[in-house]
A = this chain, B = another copy of it.
């Protein structure tokens, strides 16, 4: 695996390999890189958890990180993304982690570059490292994917998490359902029977309402969204015994989830972030070792 661009390109075997390695890191295994690798993180969109998680994972596997300030770079002078990435490569960088608002931005980077590319989110496209940490969280809980009922609730059409996860989970044998306002279902078919889905789900994965997009609440208020599609204290009581709550965060407390549920017993929200560290260590080690 030279790059990690989209879950569509990652085989079942590679997924299970990365999950296994993440579990080893979680148990205290040491990374196995035989030379010094240089990595840069190019985040052209704001991020706390994904960027911090990569920055930490990179150092924990022993790589050297070269800082890159997207908001203060020559992109402001109109440089193409290809030229920017090639420039960074020429400074002796082995891999770049990129988040960019353009869907499939990486397509223009596949010819002429030698650097490895790890996609940390492309527009409304994919977010594969998030997807792998979600898979790891589910696998740790249930020991399998086959037959696990996963409900994804929220702004599906604008969510790269929903897309990456739906692809991977379906391939691995899980049953994936969506619930959201019809305007937000995008290419998927969404259910409207939220309460009924809650009762049969093993995993409820909430998505963030994207305030920063104009018309995020198109036809809704915070209160009416919460009532219709939010995970409220009442709805949590309807969940199955061993069912868990997930959310890629950042969270709008009191909108898609009641604040009191964020750290309840069922919640794996902060565990997901912890799992992200080990997953990203596994991804980085896998890609860097592949470079030789």
Chain A residues engaging chain B, CB cutoff 8 angstroms: 38, 40, 43, 46-49, 51-53, 55-57, 59-60, 64, 66-80, 83-84, 86-88, 90-93, 112, 208, 211-212, 249-253, 262-263, 270-271, 273-274, 276-277
Contact A72:B52 (CB < 8 A) given known A60-B92, A273-B91: no
- Cβ-defined contact, A72 with B71, below 8 A: yes
In the complex, the chain B residue whose C-beta lies closest to that of A275 is B90
Q: A276 contacts which chain B residues (CB < 8 A)?
A: 90-91
In the complex, the chain B residue whose C-beta lies closest to that of A77 is B250
User: Could you show 29 A-B contacts with beta carbons less than 8 Å apart?
Assistant: A38-B59, A43-B72, A46-B77, A48-B73, A48-B79, A48-B87, A52-B66, A52-B68, A52-B87, A52-B91, A53-B91, A55-B91, A56-B66, A56-B91, A56-B93, A57-B91, A67-B67, A77-B208, A79-B249, A79-B250, A83-B249, A83-B250, A86-B270, A87-B249, A87-B273, A90-B270, A91-B273, A91-B276, A92-B277
- Cβ-defined contact, B52 with A250, below 8 A: no
In the complex, the chain B residue whose C-beta lies closest to that of A88 is B52
Please provide the 6 A-B residue pairs with the shortest distance between their CB atoms, ordered closest to farther: A90-B273, A48-B74, A79-B250, A56-B91, A74-B250, A48-B73
Contact A40:B52 (CB < 8 A) given known A74-B47, A79-B250, A263-B112: yes
Shortest A52–chain B CB gap in Å is 5
Q: A273 contacts which chain B residues (CB < 8 A)?
A: 86-87, 90-91
Shortest A224–chain B CB gap in Å is 19
Chain copies in the assembled complex: 3
- Cβ-defined contact, A66 with B59, below 8 A: yes
Shortest A251–chain B CB gap in Å is 6
**Whole-angstrom distance between the alpha carbons of A70 and B48 in the complex?**
9
Q: A49 contacts which chain B residues (CB < 8 A)?
A: 74, 87, 91
Instruction: Give the contacting residue for A84; candidates B48, B68, B69; CB below 8 A.
Output: B48
Q: A60 contacts which chain B residues (CB < 8 A)?
A: 92
In the complex, the chain B residue whose C-beta lies closest to that of A90 is B273
- Cβ-defined contact, A211 with B77, below 8 A: yes
In the complex, the chain B residue whose C-beta lies closest to that of A272 is B90
Shortest A246–chain B CB gap in Å is 14
Shortest A154–chain B CB gap in Å is 14
Shortest A87–chain B CB gap in Å is 5
In the complex, the chain B residue whose C-beta lies closest to that of A50 is B74
Shortest A26–chain B CB gap in Å is 11
Q: A64 contacts which chain B residues (CB < 8 A)?
A: 59
Instruction: Give the contacting residue for A92; candidates B40, B56, B212, B253; CB below 8 A.
Output: B56
In the complex, the chain B residue whose C-beta lies closest to that of A60 is B92
Q: A262 contacts which chain B residues (CB < 8 A)?
A: 83
- Cβ-defined contact, B66 with A48, below 8 A: no
Shortest A22–chain B CB gap in Å is 13
